Amino acid sequence: MIKEQLKTDKFAMTLSLACVAHCFLVPSFLILTSGFLSFSIDNGFIHKLIVFIAVPVSTYALVLGYKNHKKTSFFIIGSIGLLILISAVLVGESVLGESLERGLTLFGSILVIFAHFKNHQVCKEIDCSSCHD
């Protein structure tokens, strides 16, 4: 039976990847489909929505990982990544510029993904069915 820790880490990694994909692929998609679509997608809203969902899920997964494995480094790395993602969204493209906002989003997402991946690896290595409920 797959435990909650594994599920939340995987879901949090997926959300972080969605954030990166949105940031880097949606502009290309919009350019390629501009002749076919008659509506506009508000990129700022989508970016905020993904972060709004990712932050609580990632925080929950990082806290679970810390409680279960006592690996402070993964918790700190993931938390820094989340703070970077939140900062990029709150400050926004108008202040940071498009390149810096994308760079921060990419860097923050990589940190979050790394932390969840390492938590996931630790869980698999020690056969976590014996260490959590």
User: 8-19 pLDDT, tens per residue?
Assistant: 777 777 777 777
Closest CA to 63 of 102, 24, 12: 12
Distance CA 89, CA 48 (A): 6
Cα–Cα distance between 5 and 62 in angstroms, integer?
A: 9
How many CB atoms lie under 10 A from the CB of residue 86? 15
Residue 98 vs residues 63, 73, 117: alpha-carbon distances, Å:
32, 30, 28
Range of the domain at 18: 4-35+43-130
User: How high is the pLDDT of residue 8?
Assistant: 75
Number of separate domains in the chain: 1
Measured between alpha carbons, how far is 52 from 86 in angstroms, rounded to an integer? 9
User: In this predicted model, what pLDDT tens digit does every residue of 64-85 receive, in sequence order?
Assistant: 888 887 888 999 999 999 999 8
Q: Write down the pTM of the prediction.
A: 0.72
